[in-house]
Structure 1
């Protein structure tokens, strides 16, 4: 049985063109397996998993998988505002999906401001090296330009899947420690966990009302 205790919940959103592999990436992270055939996401889909960001500190990652098709964009935009982090995914075998990264970053930034948001860039499907259209160096240079962390991944082999979510969760928690992000009334990006005895910390402790909100 999975221990349900966690300290915080972070809400993350995955963005990118259709068919870049967002759903397969999440399925591997949450279920530990690769699915050859997944139906295209319609609107949004939802996953959760616990992660440890410090010794004894656990967070629940609430992961929203969005459709990349234009006809669903008005739906997915409504999920931007309540997210503290965004993973922008492109397919290394599809150059157009890489060229659209800037559009996804701009759109996400516009809808997630003024709060500080953690972005991470992912070049997916490294198992298809022979069909590569975007070099790892190009991905790294684009990430450097936007000052975001960059990984290349594969849901087929599991390459860097754990590292991606560990990196973004740890970065958000670090900002939380510094007071640059925090729990806000009416915002779903970061929420207090449940079941953990209250303790002294450098963060603002929850009120009784906040502590009763639960995780979702």
Structure 2
């Protein structure tokens, strides 16, 4: 998990992800001599190529450039059966829609990546101290701050990108008094407790 804890540059992350693109390209080239139907190519994308992506998406947020290249590989294989460039017949956003909505049911790479990375963020939110990484984040990255108010422009690139996922989660988070978890009153975005009570946040902890 050093991706979240050290100052690795985006350039290095992109370099590391090149092996992912190479694996996808190599697998597609291995299928080029096989007579595959359109339905067969759809299934291979869903079951084989997407599995490469999921493995990496569980570890860190994929750079936009890498995601763009992955979609390019998937798209050309879907429509042409090769890894060479070509013109898509349908927008990729449409392809990724559920079948009942007129799509092919291929998973959206960005959506999968965000969902899998949100699990790491959720572990921090619920303060899962059984995780060494979560314990380190709480003690070093957060210190006396709330996960909701810690500045997004500080820390390693991976940590900053993960903090950007806080906003979609906010409307789904509900706190219950009495759970025994340390809580920073007034620090949750959207509440006005800090304005309603003439006391410092430190007095409320």
Could you state the TM-score of these two structures normalised by the residue count of structure 2?
0.28
More helix by share: 2
Q: Which has the larger radius of gyration?
A: 2
Give the alignment's TM-score, normalised by structure 1.
0.27
